[in-house]
Amino acid sequence: MASTSPTETVKPLLQQALPNVKGKTFTSVIVDFPPNARAMPHRHGQAFVYAYVLEGTVRSQLAGKPVRTYHQGDNWVEPPGAHHLLTENTSPTKQARLLVVFVSNTGEELKVDDPAS
């Protein structure tokens, strides 16, 4: 039986339409990665994404970009339409946590996993 890595869990914090930008919504979430957790490759539609590492260390890669490692206190942005190939907790023993903020088209799904191959 093949073993699979644990995956992330998402806890919504705030979702609100932007009153001064018609058709756009601000959403913030906490993403928890248990030890050795890895997210499926995914996209965030046309959302602009900001991520801040609250705890632990996360390795991340967008299509066409090098793999980067982010530690507690680091942050990054993802442009609309980016393909997120890799997001993983680098630790086998400690959790990692991110604050993630999306500015998206109202009603758009915030995370769409790639189809299983």
Sheet holding 42-43, edge to edge: 68-71, 57-62, 83-89, 42-43, 112-113
- What is the per-residue pLDDT for 43? 95
Per-residue pLDDT reduced to its tens digit, 58-108:
999 999 999 999 999 999 999 999 999 999 999 999 999 999 999 999 999
pLDDT category, 116, cuts 50, 70, 90?
confident
Record: fold of 35-109: Jelly Rolls (2.60.120)
Question: Which pTM does this prediction carry?
Answer: 0.92
